[in-house]
Structure 1
Amino acid sequence: MELQQLRYVVTVAETNSFTRAAERCLVVQSALSHQVARLERELGARLFERTSRRVRLTPAGAAFLPAARQCLDAAERAKAEVAAAVGEVRGRLAVGLIPTVAAVDIPGTLREFHQRYPHVRISLRVGASEELVEQVGQGAIEVAFLGLPTTARPEGVAAHELARDRLVAVVAPDHPLAGEAEVDLRRLAAEVFVDLPAGTAGRAQSDQAFAAAGLVRDVAFEVTNADFLARLVVQGLGVAMLPSAFVPQLTGLVTVEVTDAPARVEHVIWSPVTRTPAAIAFLDLLGITG
């Protein structure tokens, strides 16, 4: 069994196509197909179901795929560790973040990191906090930036608190609340809301605050993208509550202070078990040595 064969299997699984996998791997399709077939013979099981219309994993292939990815990741880590031992940071750095990160200038930080360590391949994923915690725990990403209610802590990962912030209300310029200096949750509960999906950590901050006040609100629009959330608010379709440090990045909205607003905490997290040289270098850039 060779690493190249594992790469081919993973790529075919990701693209659902031998043709696209060959293009991505920069080899002719016949060579890729031959190596996958050779691996299947060695394993004594077919990894893919091939038809004229599609390619998909067999049960054996689905069982094989996670281990194949782990082997490839281990090989990459081994190369990165050797490079680090001779004073050069290489490998990959997969960073996850929620859309409303405000405590760190992510683009600027990644730019500085790339300038310092040009041989590290950087990738970026945007998702919900709970998804990012799971992905860091699984080793799919090395570092992630979260926003959580003050009552929550990231579990199963190493974490460092970056900042605390209060939520503010954002409304359209012609909304009746736009002329108010401040508002409370009881007044806001009478409005229609635009918010993140139910069950997410970003949504929980507001849900917990309204519930603690004995209030029920109407969330008519659920979106995962902060920019699209802002566009709905600008059109007068609802109001929203967002971290005060993040709101200046948006345009066309009026900010109203909330006297009994909930708070959130931004964290950066990483694996407590396996830290790659690239992850260590990135955390060091943030001033984190733990």
Structure 2
Amino acid sequence: MQLKWIDDLLVLERTRSFSRAAELRYVTQSALSRRIRALEDWAGAQLVDRNTYPLALTPAGATFCETARQAADLLTEARATLHRESTLPDRTLDIVAGHTLSLAFLPDWLTRCRQRFGSFHARVSAANVIDAVVALAEGQCDLMLGYHHPRVPVSLDADRFLSLSVGSDTLIPVSVPTSRGRPLYPVPDPADLADAHGTPFLAYSPNTTLGRVVGSVLDARDAHRGLIRCYESDMAMLLLKMAVEGHGLAWLPLSTAAEALSDGALVHAGDASWQASLEIRAYRPAASANATLLELWRMLAAPEQMDAAMAKTAKTADSAAPIGCFA
């Protein structure tokens, strides 16, 4: 029996849909169905009633879920504790963050947390959203930082994981400028798409959070057909480099593009209607024995204290805080 089978069943219990559960578990529907049947074979009982719509758990499945949820929490926390005690010093947080956040947001955020909270060790790993969610779900880290957008929710069980907002950012279209300071690759006007030849588009990989957010922006304006996908990456920093070198139009977090916009290497390629607001969220297990994590979380959950700390820092800092540090 594999622990991920239990997570599959718990998500299925919550969504009551194989297709939605498969999406949240980042597997195909057929793969999820096979794993649920494997769990039923292991348990020796039918756990899901597939003859109802929406589907429901059998009485045996409901009983199993209750016990399995507690067991999964205990095993995940035990694994995290053993990992922490064997590899990390005291007062330590093991953090996984998205590639973009690990570069543009996390260093300054950790500095400000230490100013308010005191010294602590942080071991940081950068990962794509799928690997970051898996790392948190399997107890491989104490804290996960990721972008959140209403149309692209992070697939974590709300009963097992807590989240709160720690910052904000804005996804904006950018391009190198012409000699007159206009965008060389402006966002195509939907009204002119019939006559357009297509704009070179520097895109995110489809399974990334930023890629799905950009997709929702383009879907709302039916603008996909005006773009020619010429480059793809799951890292905003790589798209930034390609954009600055003049290879096409890109959507970048403002925190990532701020320096290039300031020195004129890039300009805005569309108005505010082509932008998307992003929330930066921290996620942690609801059950955790890491005292440092629990103390830091209490501080983060008290925005008035954080506001006071930030105001004090702003008075003594040589420069303003980077965009997106705290909401």
TM-score band (shorter)?
0.5 to 0.7
- 8 Å CA contact 2:170, 2:253 repeated in 1: yes
CA offsets, 1:86-109, max 9 Å, x none?
xxx92531112223339x952234
- 8 Å CA contact 2:188, 2:199 repeated in 1: no
3-state SS of paired residue (2:182): helix
Which residue of structure 2 lines up, in the alignment, with residue 167 of structure 1? 171
- 8 Å CA contact 1:97, 1:132 repeated in 2: yes
Q: 1:243 to 1:109 in 2, by over 3 A?
A: closer
- 8 Å CA contact 1:167, 1:258 repeated in 2: no
Larger radius of gyration: 1
**Larger CA deviation: 251-260 vs 171-180:** 171-180
Identity between Structure 1 and Structure 2 (%): 15
**Superposed displacement of residue 124, structure 1:** 0.7
1:286 matches 2:307:
no
**Larger CA deviation: 156-165 vs 129-138:** 156-165
**Superposed displacement of residue 209, structure 1:** 1.9
Q: 2:279 aligns with which of 243, 265, 268?
A: 265
- 8 Å CA contact 2:143, 2:282 repeated in 1: yes
- Which runs of no fewer than 5 residues in structure 2 stay unpaired? 1-74, 304-327
Which residue of structure 1 lines up, in the alignment, with residue 153 of structure 2? 153
Q: 1:101 to 1:184 in 2, by over 3 A?
A: farther
**Superposed displacement of residue 281, structure 1:** 3.2
Question: Superposition RMSD on alpha carbons, in Å?
Answer: 3.8
Q: 1:175 to 1:93 in 2, by over 3 A?
A: farther
State how far apart, in whole Å, the 2-side matches of 1:207 and 1:122 are: 34
State how far apart, in whole Å, the 2-side matches of 1:149 and 1:175 are: 36
Which residue of structure 2 lines up, in the alignment, with residue 28 of structure 1? none
- 8 Å CA contact 1:175, 1:236 repeated in 2: no
Q: 1:185 to 1:123 in 2, by over 3 A?
A: farther
Q: TM-score, normalised by structure 2?
A: 0.53
- 8 Å CA contact 1:173, 1:234 repeated in 2: no
CA offsets, 1:16-73, max 9 Å, x none?
xxxxxxxxxxxxxxxxxxxxxxxxxxxxxxxxxxxxxxxxxxxxxxxxxxxx998664
State how far apart, in whole Å, the 2-side matches of 1:131 and 1:76 are: 18
How is 1:98-247 mapped onto 2 (pairs within 5 angstroms)? 98-101=98-101, 105-111=105-111, 118=119, 120-154=120-154, 155-156=156-157, 157-174=161-178, 178-179=182-183, 186=190, 190-216=198-224, 217-247=227-257
Q: 1:108 to 1:179 in 2, by over 3 A?
A: closer
State how far apart, in whole Å, the 1-side matches of 2:187 and 2:223 are: 15
Which residue of structure 2 lines up, in the alignment, with residue 277 of structure 1? 291
**Larger CA deviation: 248-257 vs 213-222:** 248-257
Which residue of structure 2 lines up, in the alignment, with residue 29 of structure 1? none
Aligned residue type for 2:172: V
**Larger CA deviation: 170-179 vs 256-265:** 170-179
How many residue pairs match? The answer is 211
State how far apart, in whole Å, the 1-side matches of 2:151 and 2:138 are: 24
Aligned residue type for 1:237: H
3-state SS of paired residue (2:137): helix
**Larger CA deviation: 165-174 vs 200-209:** 165-174
3-state SS of paired residue (1:260): helix
**Superposed displacement of residue 272, structure 1:** 1.5
Aligned residue type for 1:161: S
3-state SS of paired residue (1:232): helix
Q: 2:258 aligns with which of 248, 252, 255?
A: 248
